[in-house]
Amino acid sequence: MYTAAQTRYDSMQYPHCGNSGLRLPAISLGFWHNFGSTGNYDNMRNMCFTAFDNGIAHFDLANNYGPEDGSAETNTGRILKENFSAYRDELVISTKAGYYMWPGPYGEWGSRKYLLASLDQSLKRLQLDYVDIFYHHRMDPNTPLEETMGALAQAVKSGKALYAGLSNYDGPTLEKAAAILDSLHCPFIINQNRYSIFDRTIEENGLKETSARLKKGIIAFSPLAQGMLTDRYLHGIPDDSRVKTDGRFLKADSVTEEKLAKIRALNDLATERGQTLAEMALAWVLKDGMVTSVLIGASKPEQILDNIKAIRNTKFSEEELRRIDEICGIL
């Protein structure tokens, strides 16, 4: 029987999620990779233990995480039931719906039918009565925003979710959605978007500024740019990298010699700061307090311990920020 470390809250930071009462760990654990049917169950369990023992009390999922679709939730549900029942009220569990999940016209996007059916399925797989945060996973151009937001509000009103979130929204759509959710008295508190030194879309599309103005939290996924912002690519593309083992998300042609030169230059700066490249990349996302938490992925417990070190130093000088922008070609 798992017993959590008594020191689990001693070193983690827990900023408030926007102006809500919910506080998230600065580092959260994402279950996008390595928790599906092709993963090793004992390793999954040990990663959860390591995360929680070190203050990572937020586990983030989606209905289609796997592979196979839904298997990450199924495995997590087993882990939660067998090991974390005594700690449910110390955990924030989130899931999402929006991408393809089952055949036919009701198995994806943002209809009321899809979202509420998907949430029921997720709760069964997770073996939970409720999730803490339920997200709409992507904008839907063909469903009225009022319908999608009404479904999120219903999920909360029913007690099957405590808070609502939006993922992969842009600034203008976020503002419209927030107004609808506020009118429905639905506690919408967080946006989940891709954000890293290499991907600043949320700055370009207004999401970051709008979220701060509306006092909503942001949680960033892919802060390490699918592993490129680590030491794994300093000497080229490793044979066991996602580029070669899973080309669905990181393509080989995106890891150019120019990109590798940028990775090496950033690594030099990280070394000057006394950090690994991964630590600096995570710290950069958290640097201004506008991002509540960063979502890390991991394939083994040791990676979680390494990434947690990022919160020791999230301060950057103006010169360091200028050098990062210059390396990335922004200046």
Read off the pLDDT of residues 237-283 as tens digits, 9 standing for 90 and up.
776 665 555 555 566 667 889 999 999 999 999 999 999 999 999 99
Question: Residue 331 — pLDDT band, cuts 50, 70, 90?
Answer: confident
At residue 255, the pLDDT reads: 81
CB 75 within 8 Å of CB 35: yes
Read off the pLDDT of residues 189-212 as tens digits, 9 standing for 90 and up.
999 999 999 999 999 999 999 999
Read off the pLDDT of residues 276-321 as tens digits, 9 standing for 90 and up.
999 999 999 999 999 999 999 999 999 999 999 999 999 999 999 9
At residue 248, the pLDDT reads: 52
At residue 246, the pLDDT reads: 58
- Look at residues 329, 203, 194 and name the one whose alpha carbon lies nearest to residue 266: 329
At residue 235, the pLDDT reads: 79
What letter does residue 92 receive in the DSSP assignment?
E
Question: Residue 328 — pLDDT band, cuts 50, 70, 90?
Answer: very high
- Please report where in the chains the tokens 């996007």 appear, as a residue: 109
At residue 250, the pLDDT reads: 63
- Look at residues 256, 271, 241, 236 and name the one whose alpha carbon lies nearest to residue 329: 256
**Domains of the chain, each with CATH number or no CATH:** 27-232+278-312 (3.20.20.100)
| 124 vs 32: CA distance, rounded Å | 19
At residue 233, the pLDDT reads: 86
At residue 234, the pLDDT reads: 87
At residue 29, the pLDDT reads: 98
Pairing of strands 217-221, 131-136: unpaired
Read off the pLDDT of residues 84-119 as tens digits, 9 standing for 90 and up.
999 999 999 999 999 999 999 999 999 999 999 999
- CA dihedral of 306, 312, 314, 318, whole degrees rounded to 10: -110
Provide the residue count of the chain. 331
CB 252 within 8 Å of CB 239: no
What is the percentage of the chain residues whose pLDDT exceeds 70?
Answer: 95
At residue 252, the pLDDT reads: 62
At residue 24, the pLDDT reads: 98
